[in-house]
Amino acid sequence: MKPCILLAATALMLAACTNDEVTTTPDGKVALEVNAAISGTNTRASGSDWADGDRIGITGGNYTNSPYAYGSGKFSATGQNIYFEDTNPVTFCAYYPYAEGGGTVTATTGADMQTADQQPKIDFLYASGATASTDNPVVNFTGEHAFCHRMSQITLELTEGTDMDFDNGMLTGYTLGGLKTQGSFNTQDGTAAADGNAQAADLNLTLIGVTTTGGKYTASPVIVFPQSATGIDLAVTVGGQSYRARLTVPDYNSASGLQPGVNYLFPVTVSQSGLTISTAEIKDWETVTGDGNTALM
């Protein structure tokens, strides 16, 4: 099952609560209330829980791009509440992070956006198809209607090979080459894609204070736009020396290139003779593992 964010937006009925527990209009319309939880591990770039200030945009009925913010353990409307106005079912969609004006937003996924505090800004999520009405005022963004990642991830699992030591500041960084870092996210239909006219660029990631476990170090996932790239140039820097290889992006669901919602995990063994790239697999989001290769100095 895809790891997704489970979002339940519940409009509480007056019969179930006292009057001061719900928000209503003078004519008795009941306001939508939002409850959210995160299922699985590492399903959100910044961690396994919502952070105070996180905002989502919800659209349904006569309401478009209504912002709801997380705080004190719940989501609350930051503008006008969404109200159920009649008994006709309303279909809702939602996305994260909230963008003023909605529509299509542009972003870049350069090295400056790959830190823990910046990645949530490019970890685009989308959910749709959940319905509710006055008679059944609970909209559940769960199951097939759950929030899912619309970007791609790349993760390197680095292993010390022959005569290699990552500790004591020896492993200082790596570069992913040939990727397009400019793209857009459509908040209305959840489509994220690299800019087809953008030039491929090198993504230079700095590593500080690396500590291995059993001779292994797993780098923090890198978030990029889905794109047609089937190969990624890799350079790992250890002790001032660069070791190079070509990562082959495996097909996923019979589709080539970097796909939305997929984490491509590449196990890489670094030794004096070069890099060995093992088979890629899928983890956390849905991780695809790449085939083995050797990279030389």
Please choose, from the candidates 193, 12, 14, 47, the residue with its C-alpha nearest in 3D space to the C-alpha of residue 117.
Answer: 47
**56-107 residue pLDDT tens:** 998 988 889 999 888 887 777 898 888 877 778 889 899 999 999 999 999 9
Query: Which residues are paired to 197 by β-bridges?
Result: none
How far, in Å, CA of 56 to CA of 104, rounded? 15
Query: Which residues are paired to 133 by β-bridges?
Result: none
Among 26-40, 44-58, 145-159, the range scoring the smallest mean pLDDT is 26-40
SS3 245: strand
Per-residue confidence (pLDDT) for residue 44, from 0 to 100: 56
CA-based max dimension of the chain: 76
Q: What number of H helices and E strands is found in the chain?
A: 0, 24
Residue 136 — very low, low, confident or very high, per pLDDT cuts 50/70/90? confident
Reply yes or no on whether the pLDDT at 7 is more than 90: no
Query: How far is the CA of 46 from the CAs of 87, 194, 200, in angstroms?
Result: 39, 22, 26
Reply yes or no on whether the pLDDT at 290 is more than 80: no
In the chain, pLDDT over 70 holds for what percent of residues? 76
Domains of the chain, start order: 5-149 (2.60.40.2620), 152-295 (2.60.40.2630)
In the chain, pLDDT over 90 holds for what percent of residues? 50
Residue 55 in contact with residue 70, Cβ under 8 Å?
yes
Residue with tokens 């290889």: 245
Residue 3 — very low, low, confident or very high, per pLDDT cuts 50/70/90? very low
Residue 291 in contact with residue 250, Cβ under 8 Å?
yes
How far, in Å, CA of 153 to CA of 179, rounded? 12
Per-residue confidence (pLDDT) for residue 179, from 0 to 100: 97
Per-residue confidence (pLDDT) for residue 286, from 0 to 100: 64
SS3 107: strand
Q: Is the dihedral of CA 239, 242, 245, 250 positive or negative?
A: positive
Residue 217 in contact with residue 125, Cβ under 8 Å?
no
**185-222 residue pLDDT tens:** 999 999 999 999 999 999 999 999 999 999 999 999 99
Please choose, from the candidates 133, 106, 103, 139, the residue with its C-alpha nearest in 3D space to the C-alpha of residue 121.
Answer: 106
Rounded mean pLDDT of the chain? 81
Residue 139 in contact with residue 91, Cβ under 8 Å?
no
How far, in Å, CA of 2 to CA of 182, rounded? 26
At 166, list the tokens: 């990552």
Residue 295 in contact with residue 254, Cβ under 8 Å?
no
21-38 average pLDDT score: 55
Angle at 141 between CA 134 and CA 67, to 5 degrees: 80
Q: At residue 243, what is the residue type?
A: Y
Per-residue confidence (pLDDT) for residue 21, from 0 to 100: 47
Please choose, from the candidates 13, 269, 38, the residue with its C-alpha nearest in 3D space to the C-alpha of residue 146.
Answer: 38
SS3 225: coil
Residue 262 in contact with residue 2, Cβ under 8 Å?
no
Per-residue confidence (pLDDT) for residue 24, from 0 to 100: 55
Per-residue confidence (pLDDT) for residue 283, from 0 to 100: 42
